[in-house]
Amino acid sequence: MGNPYLSPKSSEQLRVLRATEPEAVLRVSNLNVSAGDHHILKNINLEIPKNRITVLLGPSGCGKTTLLKCMNKLTDLYRELKVTGNIYIDNDDILNTTASIPDIRQKMGLLSQRPYPLPVSIYKNVAYGLKLKGVRDKKLVAFSVEKHLREVGLWEEVKNRLNSPASSLSIGQQQRLCLARGLAVKPGIILADEPTSALDPTSSKIIEDLFRDMKKHYTIILVTHVLRQAIRLADHVIFMHDGEIIEQGSPEELFENARTDKLRAYLVDGN
Ligand SMILES: Nc1ncnc2c1ncn2[C@@H]1O[C@H](COP(=O)(O)OP(=O)(O)OP(=O)(O)O)[C@@H](O)[C@H]1O
């Protein structure tokens, strides 16, 4: 029996909505991060839907990168950071698990603001990811290198110079090479921290188009403070301010029907 307060139509709409809602691949529960007296992340609770682009949006210093760092345990590198709470990936709480850090990180590809290719050839950059996965068969490595370079739209541009140093590529190409390297370890989730901020408009568009295409196979969590990029790409939006989640939901809910003054102000002037 349906809820008597809902009209039959909205009850049906809800049923359809629930049936089509993607499952969550990552769940954050009561996450707090502090450095001394500075409470950087304040009781964060969220779910990341599978095969969607989730955009973490908010003014500079609100904690977006720190949240991303918690998700692949990069916070372990900063002894001054105290992290408490739970982050569930595949029902395993990565903040309180016995799984090794490499095992956890293999589930996630990380794309940072600037590309950091390894100081080796284009080929070896992608092969490195496969090596990490334990792939030794040379034919299989060659097949996979091509596959992942194709996946990021780089194959045609580099197929005749695979042994050239990665540093000989343009910054936009290097960013796609880093993405290919990350994809080679078969992550389910891509963490992207302002991945187009160092790129020219053409290279940025290539990355944006890739993300739209990649969400068929991957879950993407994208940090950006470029509002137009968020509007172009987001399926799900999390708006943060001063270490807190202020609003989260669909782009329509946040961009067209903001409920809080903080989000409304941000949408007007980005602050
Ligand atoms: N290791 C650290 N030690 C002390 N403070 C830190 C540390 N890491 C981050 N912070 C502080 O936490 C706050 C959030 O930083 P964070 O980089 O997560 O913000 P952000 O929203 O990603 O900012 P931006 O958009 O400018 O990159 C900032 O005030 C920052 O100075």
Whether the CB of 243 sits within 6 Å of ligand 1: no
The neighbour count for residue 134, using CB atoms within 10 Å, is 6
- How many whole angstroms separate alpha carbon 158 and alpha carbon 152? 12
How many angstroms is it from 45 CA to the middle of ligand 1?
19
- How many whole angstroms separate alpha carbon 115 and alpha carbon 32? 29
Residue nearest to atom 14 of ligand 1 (CA): 63
Question: Hey, where are the domains in the chain?
Answer: 117-186
Residues 200/208, Cβ–Cβ less than 8 Å: no
pLDDT tens digits, one per residue of 238-256: 999 999 999 999 999 999 9
pLDDT value, residue 2: 37
Output the CA angle 139-140-146, nearest 5 degrees. 95
How many angstroms is it from 243 CA to the middle of ligand 1?
9
More confident residue, 153 or 22: 153
Residue 18 has pLDDT above 60, yes or no: no
How many angstroms is it from 117 CA to the middle of ligand 1?
24
How many angstroms is it from 67 CA to the middle of ligand 1?
9
One-letter amino acid for residue 37 of the chain: D
Whether the CB of 81 sits within 6 Å of ligand 1: yes
pTM of the model: 0.88
How many angstroms is it from 97 CA to the middle of ligand 1?
25
Query: Which tokens in the block code for residue 242?
Result: 């001063």
- Pairing status of strand 236-241 against strand 244-249: antiparallel
Query: Percentage of residues in the chain with pLDDT exceeding 90?
Result: 73
Across the range 133-139, mean pLDDT stands at 87
The neighbour count for residue 260, using CB atoms within 10 Å, is 13
Is 221 buried (19+), middle (13-18) or exposed (0-12) by CB count in 10 A?
buried
Q: Name the nearest CA neighbour of 215 among 16, 27, 49, 104.
A: 49
Residue nearest to atom 29 of ligand 1 (CA): 61
The neighbour count for residue 1, using CB atoms within 10 Å, is 3
Q: Which atom in ligand 1 lies closest to the alpha carbon of residue 58?
A: 21
ipTM here: 0.97
The neighbour count for residue 30, using CB atoms within 10 Å, is 10
Q: Which atom in ligand 1 lies closest to the alpha carbon of residue 38?
A: 5
| SS3 labels along the chain | CCCCCCCHHHHHHHHHHHHHCCCEEEEEEEEEEEECCEEEEEEEEEEEECCCEEEEECCCCCCHHHHHHHHCCHHHHCCCEEEEEEEEECCEEHHHCCCCHHHHHCCEEEECCCCCCCCCEHHHHHHHHHHHCCCCCHHHHHHHHHHHHHHCCCHHHHCCCCCCEHHHCCHHHHHHHHHHHHHCCCCCEEEEECCCCCCCHHHHHHHHHHHHHHCCCCEEEEEECCHHHHHHHCCEEEEEECCEEEEEECHHHHHHCCCCHHHHHHHHHCC
Count of residues making up the chain: 271
How many angstroms is it from 68 CA to the middle of ligand 1?
11
Residue nearest to atom 11 of ligand 1 (CA): 40
As beta bridge partners, residue 192 has: 111, 222
Model confidence band, residue 55 (pLDDT cutoffs 50, 70, 90): very high
More confident residue, 108 or 160: 160
Whether the CB of 83 sits within 6 Å of ligand 1: no
How many angstroms is it from 61 CA to the middle of ligand 1?
5
pLDDT value, residue 255: 95
